Structure 1
Amino acid sequence: MHLFSRAWSALRGAVAGLSDEDFARPSGCSGWLVRDLVCHLVIDAQDVLITLVTPAEAEPTRDAVTYWNVTRTPPTGEDPLDALTVRLAAAYEEPRLLKFHLDDVGSAAGRAAELADPALRVSTQDQVLTVADYLSAYVWEWTLHHLDLIAHLPGAEPPPADGLARSRAMLEEMAGAAFPAAWSDQDVLRVGTGRRAPTDAEKAELGPLAAEIPFVIG
């Protein structure tokens, strides 16, 4: 839960520091500008609020890692929900309105997470998790989207180091294999999830794992 708060606070802070011009830059998400990604974060924050007030009686069916579905097909940005996000982002017209909405809903989601009982079971997407596992799963979401946010913003502050390390560990658990130890956590996450293609040298270092990437997780 501590990592959730750190990762979410850092991501919201990165959005708050964007210039109006930054919102029109491409993000690390295929087919999305920075403004589209920020709009997606508003929706994510709403999902967190909804889930934390949706208690469940059943035994957990997922944990922080198995919450995510893993495929081999990178997103194209043409999925109907992805396209809807683009239209919603455009409707804000002014970046300051999008910033305000994220700060408003995002702050509420952060407070709700801090107040939640870690052992409480909650339901989302027809699955049951403990609050602790649900919030831990979102460390992945916040960290990857922080990298997406700054993908074309040289000099921007990266995600917290502990969030990067945790997300790398989650990716390696999902992959069932370890990435080269000498690689930075950022390189592991970007290459492992298909956010950038590995160089020839990196492919050689990956060995058999090179044929398995990308791990598209959502």
Structure 2
Amino acid sequence: MDPFTQSWAALRAAVAGLADEDYEQPSGCTGWLVRDLVCHLVIDAQDVLITLVTPAGGEPTADAAGYWELRAGPPSGDDPLDALVPRLAAAYGAPHLLAFHLDDVGSAAGRAARLADPVARVATQGKALTAGDYLSAYVLEWTLHHLDLVAHLPSAPRPPAGTLAVARTGLEEIAGAAFPASYTDADALLIGTGRRTPTAAEAAALGDFAARLPLILG
């Protein structure tokens, strides 16, 4: 199974296994409940569908790492779309309606990804890149959000080891540096993106790399 399909299937399965009360728990995304994060995943799945049928006219201008922009700081909540997500999530009312919508749109996004020609050029966010690189970039997105989903749900399944490793490599390519070998893949992702503060020992192992963290992806 390719990393995109594996990471997306694992994330959707984790959502499908949530109890109603889990949707009211905080997620790993500051200010968002689990229900808000699931709503964001619906929007992400729509973006995948839109991008895969939006051809780019010229040569690629970005690869998987170049798809991401580094922000100066974490989202402030002032962005209209960021502010819309909690209101939209609340409008679903019953959690099963939100879960159904994610399963419906998410299944379609997964099928579209499997059918996509990896060398076809697609356009998104003012960039042109191959469909393969675009889907590779989303392995990082899905894996980080899987970690966000289960941040306060200790019994929920974690991301697969294989996709954690792929996501770590993707983040290291964006950073242009490798995390210490002593870091687990999950810790590299959480610390690298500011989702967890490193311990004193972990910060010391980073050396000069610590000054460049966190990497806020946008």
Same fold (TM over 0.5): yes
Distance (Å, rounded) in 2 between the aligned partners of 1:33 and 1:76: 16
Distance (Å, rounded) in 1 between the aligned partners of 2:72 and 2:178: 18
Alignment of 1:117-156 (within 5 A): 117-156=117-156
Distance (Å, rounded) in 1 between the aligned partners of 2:77 and 2:16: 25
Shift of 1:155: 2.7
Question: For the Cα contact (< 8 Å) 1:32–1:77, is it kept in 2?
Answer: no
- The RMSD of aligned alpha carbons is 1.1
Question: Does the alignment pair 1:44 with 2:48?
Answer: no
Alignment of 1:73-152 (within 5 A): 73-152=73-152
Give 1:34's aligned amino acid.
Answer: V
Aligned twin of 2:199: 199
Question: For the Cα contact (< 8 Å) 1:30–1:77, is it kept in 2?
Answer: no
SS of the residue aligned with 1:128? Answer: strand
Aligned twin of 1:167: 167
SS of the residue aligned with 1:66? Answer: helix
Give 1:126's aligned amino acid.
Answer: G
| Runs of at least 5 residues in structure 1 that lack an aligned partner in the other structure | none
Distance (Å, rounded) in 2 between the aligned partners of 1:43 and 1:137: 16
Give 1:202's aligned amino acid.
Answer: E
Question: Deviation string for 1:58-91 (max 9, x for gaps)?
Answer: 1001111110001241223343211101110010
Distance (Å, rounded) in 1 between the aligned partners of 2:50 and 2:196: 33
Give 1:148's aligned amino acid.
Answer: D
Distance (Å, rounded) in 2 between the aligned partners of 1:103 and 1:207: 43
Aligned twin of 1:183: 183
Question: For the Cα contact (< 8 Å) 1:72–1:214, is it kept in 2?
Answer: no
Distance (Å, rounded) in 1 between the aligned partners of 2:211 and 2:57: 41
Aligned twin of 1:8: 8
Aligned length: 218
Alignment of 1:58-77 (within 5 A): 58-77=58-77
Aligned twin of 2:157: 157
Distance (Å, rounded) in 2 between the aligned partners of 1:77 and 1:153: 24
| Runs of at least 5 residues in structure 2 that lack an aligned partner in the other structure | none
Q: Percent identity?
A: 68
Question: Deviation string for 1:19-72 (max 9, x for gaps)?
Answer: 000000000001100000000000000000011111122100111111000124
Give 2:121's aligned amino acid.
Answer: R
Report the TM-score when normalising by structure 1.
0.97
